[in-house]
Structure 1
């Protein structure tokens, strides 16, 4: 059942919840996301007939997405469609540049959805955990690894020292030695990476707090975390997320979170950034 903000658009909810739905519900949800305009016009029974499931499955899918029933989901879909900016007709431009512009336009049109599942309370708690931890380990694997490495460097540059270990076994060993007062921050777009889950388990066993940044609220990574930031995926489905594997939204949010931490820390963070600029300045040559 959806437990995020009421204003989160239905297609963003589908993208985040579909992987954890029952197979029949997932088919309904993905069919709706695949053609929103047609879904708005159809009744629950018409959707059921098209997907070859019972009407109760369609109603149950709507309820899983956080709506009283399918009529309320239809209204939410219509509202989302009405509020979205008209898409550019990139299909007429078959050039590589046209395709690039189309991809950028599509990304831009969904940017507002990326933080639609984040609440003020969760964000404040997350930044507070980062600020207060005596020791911080950042762990990320697979396609999220570059995001984790970048986040660790940004935190350290802002005066919040963070450890980043690339090797998966090394991550678990480090996590097992964190202890109370420390924190382990796991970045996992899919929320199901086995190595990242093992790191979280080791960190929790040590007494450390466990934080997560992921795209799916009912994933193992999100459910294991003491505080989780759920960043809605740019792609419309879990299948697309696996095929196209964009981590751009995660990178954008992590950069912004560091900015919030800098604001919270005030003068000490500013001093750390000045020291970082000094080091960078000495590393440059004509």
Structure 2
């Protein structure tokens, strides 16, 4: 079941259903009602701990309330919370000042972007990609463009890569992978169901799953062999959904391409030369 509630309707809906719930479900629903703003940033296990229930009870409660699952409830609560937030104040005045202030904010966020990256994870990711027989790159929604760009970049390095854009095609592609292949999956929230399903299916086939996301406790990170977690300073799940920023992911992927170029050596040089030859033959005068 999937809810289609009007903005601002999530909490009233839960309140109207709660009397009919079983005791364990009612305890979970009470947490939803008492801490709606916190729920946006909490994992299902954290909600379970707060309610004195199991993680399975959290999922069942969401379904009993008519939601498709906990992730859908979080997204709808984030939507409702965003409506209640005042418009973000800026110290800058005018378009040019706002643009330059944005550059400054990105610069100030660099340390936060790399805080959760580890030498081991980055090294493993580059090694897996460099040695893979084939690579499937997946991104949905606002991550689709990053997936397409990354796919093109890897092919220019001589890697066998493709990035299906249709969710069904993605599911088929990962089911054709083997333990010699890699699935590279990009999702800011880490909660997109199509991307998570692809990660799970790829792991079932024995492929190495490398994810790029902003949240370490996301469902995508949990379904990955290697989770590369990067985000902006002060990034929350709510802001990731409402004011999505792909800047950290773009920089990370750019870094991975540079590391791959180095790891592949002559193979990458030869492939890049062939790519440039094709490009030069398609440039106008």
TM over 0.5: yes
Residue 22 of structure 1 and its aligned partner are, at CA, apart by: 3.6
The 2-side partners of 1:19 and 1:267 are apart by: 47
- SS of the residue corresponding to residue 229 of structure 1 reads strand
1:68-88 C-alpha deviation (Å, 9 max, x unpaired) = xxxxxxxxxxxxxxxxxxxxx
Is 1:141 matched with 2:140? yes
Contact 1:165 1:171 in 2 (8 A): yes
Q: Which residue of 1 aligns with 2:210?
A: 211
Q: Which residue of 2 aligns with 1:69?
A: none
- SS of the residue corresponding to residue 227 of structure 2 reads strand
Q: Which residue of 2 aligns with 1:202?
A: 201
Q: Which residue of 2 aligns with 1:240?
A: 239
Contact 1:235 1:241 in 2 (8 A): no
In structure 2, relative to structure 1, the CA distance for the partners of 1:105 and 1:282 (3 Å cut) is: same
- SS of the residue corresponding to residue 184 of structure 2 reads strand
Q: Which residue of 2 aligns with 1:266?
A: 265
Between the two proteins, the alignment pairs up a number of residues equal to 206
Q: Which residue of 1 aligns with 2:102?
A: 103
Q: Which residue of 2 aligns with 1:64?
A: none
RMSD, aligned α-carbons: 2.1
1:47-89 C-alpha deviation (Å, 9 max, x unpaired) = xxxxxxxxxxxxxxxxxxxxxxxxxxxxxxxxxxxxxxxxxxx
The 2-side partners of 1:187 and 1:121 are apart by: 19
TM-score when normalising by structure 2? 0.68
Residue 18 of structure 1 and its aligned partner are, at CA, apart by: 4.1
Q: Which residue of 2 aligns with 1:166?
A: 165
Residue 204 of structure 1 and its aligned partner are, at CA, apart by: 1.7
Segments of 5+ residues of structure 2 without an aligned counterpart are: 1-39, 51-89
Q: Which residue of 2 aligns with 1:223?
A: 222
Q: Which residue of 1 aligns with 2:255?
A: 256
Q: Which residue of 1 aligns with 2:116?
A: 117
